[in-house]
Chains A and B, each alone.
Chain A
Amino acid sequence: MRVGLFITCFNDALFPGTGEAVVTLLERLGHEVAFDPAQTCCGQLHWTTGYHREAAGLARRFAEVCTGLLSENDLVVTPSASCAAMVRQAYPQLVPDLAGASDTPDAADPDAWHENVYELSEFLVDVLGVTDVGAYFPHRVTYHPTCHSLRALGLGDRPLRLLRAVKGLDLVELPGADECCGFGGTFAMKNADVSVAIVADKIRHIRATTADVVCAVDNSCLTHIGGALSRLRSGVRVMHLAEILAETR
């Protein structure tokens, strides 16, 4: 399959290793990956902060890049649930002329271009039908389902099924997993005190698992959780799902 990569600006700048892991993983599974460096940002930061004019400009720009990628590839994959949700669910509200407006996700047009943007674990489990990607990762891992993966995209246990199939991986259930980590984009700065109060409880639950690695499908949330773990010198590290799935013996 020919896969266009939507890296997201956040990963491009801060977590290039996640992007490389996606490429390594997909190539290992026998697929071709294409990347268009014209892509910058999908506009999520501006959209959720209320700068909708600016967000619309960025969305139009990204739509052009993304439809270009789709014209030469079967679909587009991104290692970010929140950016995938932005394109699939917010674009119909933000730029309805480019992404057909529909009030309910149930009524979404499956043929619309933005419906062909997949989050990584969706692509692996739903499109490719694989859960065992041949990974080996001998560590104690707990999984935090990010809000956009859980409630916006409804990924359910797809990431967990992928993790359970990793050889050597000791998967520990995270108490209170469904609760937000308190990131929320600019919320983490506008309401920093509340944000920290929320992540403090997330950290408490993570420490209770005695896991060495916290895994998720959004590096933005992992930056928040990891930033708090790092400040506390907890010794627990955060890893994107792609990075674990890319590891082999």
Chain B
Amino acid sequence: MNARGPLGEWLAALRTADESPPTVPKFAVAARDALGDTQLRRNLRTATATMSRLRVTAAGELDDWAELRAAGQAIKDHTLLNLDTYLEELERSVTEAGGMVHWARDADDACAIVTGLVAATGQAEVVKVKSMVGQEIGLNDALEAAGIRPYETELAELIVQLGADRSTHSLLPAIHRSRAEIRELFLRELPDPPADLGDEPAQLAAAARGYLRDVFRTAKVAISGANFAVADTGTLVVLEAEGNGRMSVTLPETLITVIGIEKVVPTWSDLEVFLQLLPRSSVGERMTPYVSTWTGVAPGDGPRAFHLVLLDNGRTNALADEVGRAALRCIRCSACLDVCPVYERTGGAAYGPVHPGPIGAILTPQLRGPESPHDASLPYASTLCGACADVCPVRIDIPRILVHLRGKVIESRRRRPVPTPEMAMMRSVAWTLGDGGRYEAALRQTTRWARLVARGGRIQRLPGLFGKWTDARDLPAPPKESFRVRWQHRAGLPVRRGALGAPGGPRMGRLRRSSG
């Protein structure tokens, strides 16, 4: 079939749609499983409430919290606007300190560099420090495909890995698992679990520790992310609670660190701001138990080889967007997840494999482009309640960026040969609202129709998109007379069809009602 012209384009569009089914369903569909998962809902409710409470207390301890947030925003904004300078400075200082810097355009590029570096050591096993960017680029899958076995060393990441599971929370990846489930998982998956393993947190941690000690003893290569990279000294910084991160960055012979290019800060003194903002915002603590820093390599101390992989993977696209670039300030504290009414009920899986929660809803579509149905649905996975913006330690106005990205999603849909039903409806609503006469005619007709389908003052079933409302909620029947009609009665004016607000019609507002 060789149809040309608009029909051909239309058929081609249909074929394309058929050939590339979405791999991840859109948010509303992906969220359904989580909404029905009782254990997940309970764990999330408890964990997010606890984290939020701790964060409020920790932030409240500092008199200059507002100034710290403003400083965090200012440092990040300055760095992002001069990113080229600071990245080159970072490359120079890391190289001078004996490290090697690699530049990765995208996820595939980064995975190829990392697997290549591991392969060059001749090792088939690596220990991993919990890293969001590793998750973003699908590093574990790439390592396994190259015959390299990655060992997650953070307890929660280990639980996720052993269960072939998906992370639910940026900081607490296994929050959806109960203690009993973790115990069963350990008994099934650990090579030599204690026979009398109970489900107390201390027993579970001890079992994991016993297993990981053996891993650390033999590991020759480690892969980490980092929270910050200091440009002028070439220093990498990781904050963590367990000490497994520190063992990973000190014991092996080769250390490979993968970071997004937005992780750079100009100087050590800038860390002063972030080392206060991050622990208090993330875990509600004054300081995390372990703050590890390393600069290149030092003879006789720590790894003998250090590689730093600087990853773009869409970040420069986000940087080019004047509104959207604020998302790159994010320091991955996850405070926005803990206050989000949507996240609290869906957990992280529905947000897809990259970043969960409100920050994920603005980062993922920018890093990957809003082309897939799933990524296009992410900016809509929010009520715009604004709780996230209130807690963000670097003052990212997440609701503003969500609305901005919704605009981009709609703009990309305008290019389709056939408008979506929603677009047809929204255009016709805008056309109706764009003129007083049309608005009033529609108001009268809709009111009459709505009153016909109402029973006892309630509308309980509506067709199409509106059926999503009435599936679980009533809608009040509109009163017979709108406000404008009632106003006219009060003003003692005759009601004429189409007279109100019609172009060239009488400007009723100029008639003033006085009191008394």
Which residues of B lie under 8 Å from residue A195 when comparing CB positions? 383
Question: Is B507 positioned at the interface, with any CB of A under 8 Å from its CB?
Answer: yes
Question: Is B418 positioned at the interface, with any CB of A under 8 Å from its CB?
Answer: no
Query: What per-residue 1/0 map shows which CB atoms of B3-45 lie under 8 Å from chain A?
Result: 0000000000000000000000001100110010000000000
Q: CB distance A189 to B469 under 8 Å?
A: yes
Question: Is A249 positioned at the interface, with any CB of B under 8 Å from its CB?
Answer: no
Question: Which of A42-50, A108-116, A209-217 lies at the binding interface?
Answer: A42-50
Mostly, the B contact residues are helix
Q: CB distance B430 to A151 under 8 Å?
A: no
Q: CB distance A33 to B513 under 8 Å?
A: yes
Q: A38-B509, A51-B430, A191-B342 are in contact. Are A184 and B446 (CB under 8 A)?
A: no
Question: Is B387 positioned at the interface, with any CB of A under 8 Å from its CB?
Answer: yes
Mostly, the A contact residues are helix
Question: Is A193 positioned at the interface, with any CB of B under 8 Å from its CB?
Answer: yes
Other-chain residue from A49, A58, A180 in contact with B385 (beta carbon distance below 8 A): A180
Question: Is B116 positioned at the interface, with any CB of A under 8 Å from its CB?
Answer: no
Question: Which of A122-130, A132-140, A155-163, A224-232 lies at the binding interface?
Answer: A224-232
- Tell me, in angstroms, the Cα distance from A54 to B484 when the chains sit together: 24
Q: A32-B515, A151-B386 are in contact. Are A188 and B469 (CB under 8 A)?
A: yes
Q: A20-B486, A37-B508 are in contact. Are A51 and B383 (CB under 8 A)?
A: no
Question: Is A57 positioned at the interface, with any CB of B under 8 Å from its CB?
Answer: yes
Which residues of A lie under 8 Å from residue B400 when comparing CB positions? 93
Question: Is B345 positioned at the interface, with any CB of A under 8 Å from its CB?
Answer: yes
Query: What per-residue 1/0 map shows which CB atoms of A7-26 lie under 8 Å from chain B?
Result: 10101111111011001000
Question: Is A172 positioned at the interface, with any CB of B under 8 Å from its CB?
Answer: no
Question: Is B447 positioned at the interface, with any CB of A under 8 Å from its CB?
Answer: yes
Q: CB distance A49 to B426 under 8 Å?
A: yes
Which residues of B lie under 8 Å from residue A41 when comparing CB positions? 433, 439
Question: Which of B146-154, B190-198, B405-413 lies at the binding interface?
Answer: B405-413
Which residues of B lie under 8 Å from residue A93 when comparing CB positions? 400
Question: Which of B132-140, B261-269, B471-479 lies at the binding interface?
Answer: B471-479
Q: CB distance B341 to A13 under 8 Å?
A: no
Question: Is B514 positioned at the interface, with any CB of A under 8 Å from its CB?
Answer: yes
Other-chain residue from A27, A30, A48, A227 in contact with B475 (beta carbon distance below 8 A): A227
Question: Is B249 positioned at the interface, with any CB of A under 8 Å from its CB?
Answer: no
Which residues of B lie under 8 Å from residue A55 when comparing CB positions? 430
Least CB separation from A230: chain B residue:
B474
Q: CB distance B403 to A50 under 8 Å?
A: yes
Query: What per-residue 1/0 map shows which CB atoms of B427-451 lie under 8 Å from chain A?
Result: 1011001111001000100110000
Q: A184-B385, A187-B380 are in contact. Are A231 and B484 (CB under 8 A)?
A: no
Question: Is A74 positioned at the interface, with any CB of B under 8 Å from its CB?
Answer: no
Q: CB distance A16 to B509 under 8 Å?
A: no
Q: CB distance A58 to B434 under 8 Å?
A: yes
Which residues of A lie under 8 Å from residue B469 when comparing CB positions? 188-189, 192, 227
Question: Is A205 positioned at the interface, with any CB of B under 8 Å from its CB?
Answer: no
Q: CB distance B403 to A48 under 8 Å?
A: yes
Q: A4-B509, A147-B385, A184-B382 are in contact. Are A228 and B443 (CB under 8 A)?
A: no
Question: Is B482 positioned at the interface, with any CB of A under 8 Å from its CB?
Answer: yes
Which residues of A lie under 8 Å from residue B446 when comparing CB positions? 13
Least CB separation from B431: chain A residue:
A54
Other-chain residue from A2, A186, A196 in contact with B472 (beta carbon distance below 8 A): A196
Q: CB distance B465 to A182 under 8 Å?
A: no
* Number of residue pairs spanning A and B whose beta carbons lie under 8 angstroms apart: 225
Interface residues of A in 197-226 (CB under 8 A from B): 197-199, 223-224, 226
- Tell me, in angstroms, the Cα distance from A44 to B465 when the chains sit together: 19
Other-chain residue from A9, A197, A230 in contact with B476 (beta carbon distance below 8 A): A230
Distance to closest chain B CB from A214 (angstroms) = 14
- Tell me, in angstroms, the Cα distance from A195 to B383 when the chains sit together: 8
Other-chain residue from A31, A50, A148, A226 in contact with B409 (beta carbon distance below 8 A): A50
Q: CB distance A13 to B478 under 8 Å?
A: yes
- Tell me, in angstroms, the Cα distance from A89 to B121 when the chains sit together: 56
- Tell me, in angstroms, the Cα distance from A50 to B501 when the chains sit together: 27
Q: A61-B434, A227-B475 are in contact. Are A194 and B510 (CB under 8 A)?
A: no
Query: What per-residue 1/0 map shows which CB atoms of A35-73 lie under 8 Å from chain B?
Result: 111111100011111111011011001000100110010
Question: Is A152 positioned at the interface, with any CB of B under 8 Å from its CB?
Answer: yes
Least CB separation from A179: chain B residue:
B341
- Tell me, in angstroms, the Cα distance from A4 to B513 when the chains sit together: 11
Q: A40-B501, A194-B346 are in contact. Are A9 and B433 (CB under 8 A)?
A: yes
Least CB separation from A188: chain B residue:
B469
Q: CB distance B427 to A193 under 8 Å?
A: no
Q: A37-B436, A52-B410 are in contact. Are A183 and B383 (CB under 8 A)?
A: yes
- Tell me, in angstroms, the Cα distance from A186 to B482 when the chains sit together: 23
Which residues of B lie under 8 Å from residue A65 when comparing CB positions? 509
Distance to closest chain A CB from B66 (angstroms) = 12
Which residues of B lie under 8 Å from residue A226 when comparing CB positions? 474, 476
- Tell me, in angstroms, the Cα distance from A37 to B475 when the chains sit together: 25
Q: CB distance B483 to A54 under 8 Å?
A: no
Distance to closest chain B CB from A141 (angstroms) = 19
Q: CB distance A50 to B383 under 8 Å?
A: no
Interface residues of B in 88-127 (CB under 8 A from A): none
Q: CB distance A50 to B387 under 8 Å?
A: no
- Tell me, in angstroms, the Cα distance from A41 to B488 when the chains sit together: 19
Which residues of B lie under 8 Å from residue A90 when comparing CB positions? 403
Question: Is B468 positioned at the interface, with any CB of A under 8 Å from its CB?
Answer: yes
Which residues of B lie under 8 Å from residue A223 when comparing CB positions? 475-476
Least CB separation from B413: chain A residue:
A50
Distance to closest chain A CB from B348 (angstroms) = 14
Which residues of A lie under 8 Å from residue B429 when comparing CB positions? 45-46
Q: CB distance B436 to A38 under 8 Å?
A: yes
Distance to closest chain A CB from B488 (angstroms) = 8
Q: CB distance B507 to A38 under 8 Å?
A: yes
Distance to closest chain A CB from B37 (angstroms) = 12
Distance to closest chain A CB from B412 (angstroms) = 10
Question: Is B381 positioned at the interface, with any CB of A under 8 Å from its CB?
Answer: yes
A28, A69, A189, A198 interface centre (most CB from chain B within 10 Å): A189
25 pairs of residues in contact across A and B, judged by CB atoms under 8 Å: A12-B483, A23-B513, A32-B514, A34-B509, A36-B510, A37-B500, A41-B433, A46-B426, A48-B384, A50-B407, A65-B509, A69-B509, A72-B510, A147-B383, A151-B385, A151-B390, A180-B341, A184-B383, A190-B380, A191-B380, A193-B35, A198-B342, A227-B469, A227-B475, A231-B474
Contacts A38-B509, A45-B429, A190-B380 aside, 10 further interface pairs with beta carbons under 8 A come to A14-B478, A27-B513, A38-B436, A38-B501, A46-B426, A51-B423, A65-B509, A185-B384, A189-B465, A227-B475
Which residues of B line the A interface, CB within 8 A? 27-28, 31-32, 35, 341-342, 345-346, 377, 379-387, 389-390, 400, 403, 405-411, 423, 426-427, 429-430, 433-436, 439, 443, 446-447, 458, 460, 465-466, 468-469, 471-476, 478-479, 481-488, 490, 500-501, 507-516
Per CB-CB distance, the 6 closest pairs between chain A and chain B, nearest first, are A36-B509, A184-B383, A50-B406, A227-B473, A54-B430, A180-B385
